[in-house]
Chains A and B, each alone.
Chain A
Amino acid sequence: MTDLLRQAWTVARKDLLLEFRTRTALVSALVFTALVLTVFNFGRDPTAVATIDLAPTILWVTFTFAAMLALNRAFQLELENQALEGLLVSPLSRTSLYWGKLLANLVFVALVEAVGLPLFVLFFDVPVGRVLLPLVGVIALATIGFVAVGTLFSALVIRTRFAELLLVVLLLPFLVPPLIGAVQVTARLLGGRPLSEAAGWFRLLAAYDIGFVALATLLFPFTVDE
């Protein structure tokens, strides 16, 4: 188990190192997030719809789009110079390869969200101070769920035609349960409702995470083996 995690960390570190050296994808994703938030501001009539009513929607649509942008790059960068073949022949278990990719994606998306959340608060003047901890919790739970499926699918589509477009079409249905849960919890948190009211949603998000991380770990070898 520790071996597995150490190997996974090696893969994740490699990906993140590559990312921080160039920063192209990360900067694009951050700018994209800021732009989507801006577009949302002008995409509503501020006199007709109160910000607080629309806030959960804005937050989660922005995060899902940004995450989808991030997921495309996970295996794309392994295509150059047959880097994926290199990874596959290295003494690395498939499980740790998947977990490593998942971890790198999670760090990537978490960074985007860490910048996106303050921007969201700034642009829309949403008071999150009181509920920051549970809000971060629900963001983490929802993100793990869809990044787990997204990482699996990004391995699935790299060798297909129209990979970027296909990933979005395949992945969006899988974002629906975490998205619904996240929006519902966020709305309750921002509306000042007691945390216990959202307990059912937290359970659903956790069940989704456990279910799909396990399933993706099981299925991942079938997407890379020759």
Chain B
Amino acid sequence: MSLAQTGRRITLLGLVLLAGVYVRALAFTPLERFQGPAQKIFYLHVPAAWSAMLAMGLVGLCSILYLIVKDARFDRFAAASAEVGTTFSLVMLTTGPIWAKPIWGTWWTWDARLTLTLFLFFLFIGYLLLRGAVVEPGLRARYSAVLGICGLVLLPFIHLSVYLFRTLHPQPIVLKPSAPSLPGSMLVTLLVSFAVFTLLYVGFVTQRYALGLLREAQGKEHA
């Protein structure tokens, strides 16, 4: 079985299981007392955020490994991971406001975590733009590795500065939801969803990696 086929099968399995997560979240998980049905979006939003973070972490790790061993596989993986990560962060950034409007009363707020994820998205976009702007493969791999590492180091700084920014200026309304200790059935749904999103990440990245290989073989990798 080729790599692309494996990727497609994993993705297909992930999508079927995702439908299962929908069914379980909507029909077999109790309504949250205060947030009502709006809370259901958590079962997509939080796992998507996890996959986006995982993608960025692996972009950073592969960037470091690439600069050490200069193996093109790490670069190809980083490129695939960044592209998939962009998609997941877009899912996270669209589901977030949908939940925030009824619960917080606003689509967007400059809370530490929101700002962090927004910049995660910007970093992914910048990374992909840089890859698109360099024609020579060796140069592209090195340049994007440098950016990938810088991005990984930047994220904690952004989190810290925005966190400090907020705590020094307490808001009149506490926008952060208190961390609820989840009842068992909700926790199970969430954990299953985490697993499914990780599986989807693996499926997407495998397919994108195979696509990268194909493009390189044809000598016209542009992404």
- Interface pair B130/A152, CB less than 8 Å apart: no
- Interface check B100, CB cutoff 8 A: no
- Residue B223 lies at the interface, judged by CB distance under 8 Å to chain A: no
B146 near A219: Cβ-Cβ < 8 Å: yes
A177 touches B157 (CB 8 A): yes
Q: A160-B133, A170-B130 are in contact. Are A181 and B150 (CB under 8 A)?
A: no
Verify if B91 is at the interface (C-beta below 8 Å from A).
Answer: no
Contact (Cβ within 8 A) A208 B130: no
A residues contacting B by CB (< 8 A) are: 149, 152-153, 156-157, 159-162, 166, 169-170, 172-174, 176-177, 180-181, 184, 200-201, 204, 207-208, 211-212, 215-216, 219, 222-223
Cβ contacts A to B, 16 pairs, < 8 Å:
A156-B130, A157-B130, A157-B133, A160-B133, A166-B130, A170-B126, A170-B147, A173-B119, A173-B154, A177-B154, A177-B158, A177-B160, A180-B161, A200-B164, A215-B153, A222-B142
Q: Is B65 at the interface (CB under 8 A from chain A)?
A: no
CA–CA, A129 and B157, complex, Å: 31
Complex contacts, B145 vs chain A, CB 8 Å: 222
Q: A173-B122, A180-B165, A201-B164 are in contact. Are A211 and B157 (CB under 8 A)?
A: yes
Chain A contacts for B160, CB-based, 8 A: 177, 204
Q: Which residue of B lies closest to A219 (CB)?
A: B146
Known: A174-B154, A176-B119. A166 touches B164 (CB 8 A): no
CB neighbors of A among B132-165 (8 A): 133-134, 139, 142-143, 145-147, 149-151, 153-154, 157-158, 160-162, 164-165
Interface residues of B (CB under 8 A from A): 67, 119, 122-123, 125-126, 129-130, 133-134, 139, 142-143, 145-147, 149-151, 153-154, 157-158, 160-162, 164-165, 168
Least CB distance from A61 to B in Å reads: 17
Flag if B146 contacts A156 (CB, 8 Å). Answer: yes
Q: For the complex, would chain B's binding face be called helix, strand, loop or mixed by DSSP majority? A: helix
* Min CB–CB distance B202 → chain A (angstroms): 27
Q: Which of A152, A169, A180, A184 contacts B150 (CB 8 A)?
A: A152
Residue of A nearest to B140 (CB): A160
B51 to chain A, nearest CB (A): 20
Chain B residues within 8 Å of A174, by CB: 150, 154
- Contact yes or no, A162 B133, CB < 8 A: yes
A100 to nearest B CB, angstroms? Answer: 19
Please, which residues of chain B bring their CB within 8 A of the CB of A153?
147
Other A-B pairs, 11, CB within 8 Å; known A169-B129, A170-B129, A180-B165? A160-B133, A162-B133, A169-B126, A170-B126, A177-B161, A180-B161, A215-B149, A215-B153, A216-B150, A219-B150, A223-B146
Query: By the criterion CB–CB under 8 Å, are A204 and B164 in contact?
Result: yes
Q: Which residues of B contact A161 (CB under 8 A)?
A: 133
Question: In the assembled complex, how far is the CB of residue A171 from the closest CB belonging to chain B, in whole angstroms?
Answer: 9
Residues from chain B with a CB closer than 8 A to the CB of A208 are: 157
Q: Give bound CA distance, A170 to B158, whole Å.
A: 15
Partner of B161 from A156, A204, A212 at Cβ < 8 Å: A204
Known: A166-B129, A223-B142. A156 touches B157 (CB 8 A): no
Q: How far is the CA of A157 from the CA of B129 in the complex (A)?
A: 11
Identify the closest chain B residue to A163 (Cβ): B133
